[in-house]
Structure 1
Amino acid sequence: MASYLAQDIQLAKRHEEILSQRLVLLQQMESHLGDKEAEKTWQMQESSAAHKRNVALLNTRYWAKVEESIPKWEPFFLGRIQAPVGVKKIKQTKQYTSLSKGSIFK
């Protein structure tokens, strides 16, 4: 019976060791999970900031291109010349021609 008591004490000690190891592992897992969530949040913020920068850059480049091509298009808009090279001419239909002459408003 003494051997059963010794075995029981040994098993109880081993059980305590396992529980303490389990607790340490759980704490490590929670810490790791927290780190992962923090990293994911940081990545999402960085991605959002990069997206905003890209939109601003595209907007800036678009308007720079528009400003760059204004001198080429200005005479066309003033009716002095035909459209610059590279622009397809649109065929005017009878309906479009009559609309542009203002026949609807007479």
Structure 2
Amino acid sequence: MEVFEKHEEILANRAQLLEQMKNRRETMKIQSKEQFNKSEVARQRNNTLLQNVKKLENRLCGRPLHHPNVFALEARYWASVEKSIPIWEHFLLGKEPHPTDCPGPPSKSSYQRHESAKVHGLPPRPKSRPA
């Protein structure tokens, strides 16, 4: 009798597990379909975005981006940067003080810069303060 009851209990557990597996399989199918639908929507969205980017890229390639004066200003800027590299190089390497921290009287070049700032309507540069 005990064996028969144990057998019935095992069969009940088996039936319950089979029902759980069936439910789980159905849930997995539904989730899989939802994931597939989401991925298709994302793929379509990405394709649309890619097409829009390509259209914009083609539109931008067809016309000049800057006014010629901008190129001239850019060239003068980089020329001034290259000219000032030797002045700033030792400071940036930590070998000398800041180039504008001169302990002596202002040099002629700093005077010219100050005068040029006045001509162009720029405010005067702040004076360096002792640390």
TMscore range, shorter length: 0.5 to 0.7
Q: Percent identity over the alignment?
A: 9
* Count, aligned residues: 71
**For the residues of structure 2 that align with 1:44 and 1:65, how far apart are their CA atoms?**
33
Q: Secondary structure at the match of 2:10?
A: helix
Question: 1:15-56: per-residue Cα shift (whole Å, max 9, x none)?
Answer: 010000001111111111111111111111011101110011
Q: Mark the runs of 5 or more structure 1 residues left unpaired by the alignment.
A: 73-84, 87-106
Whether 2:55 is the aligned partner of 1:56: answer yes
Letter in 2 for 1:36: Q
**For the residues of structure 1 that align with 2:56 and 2:13, how far apart are their CA atoms?**
63
**For the residues of structure 1 that align with 2:52 and 2:64, how far apart are their CA atoms?**
18
Q: Mark the runs of 5 or more structure 2 residues left unpaired by the alignment.
A: 76-131
**For the residues of structure 1 that align with 2:2 and 2:39, how far apart are their CA atoms?**
55
With normalisation by structure 1, the TM-score equals 0.58
The structure with higher relative contact order (CA 8 Å, sep 6+) is 2
2:24 aligns with 25
* Structure whose residues are more often helix by fraction: 1
With normalisation by structure 2, the TM-score equals 0.47
Q: Secondary structure at the match of 2:62?
A: helix
1:3 aligns with 2
Question: 1:51-102: per-residue Cα shift (whole Å, max 9, x none)?
Answer: 1100111111122328x88xx8xxxxxxxxxxxx99xxxxxxxxxxxxxxxx
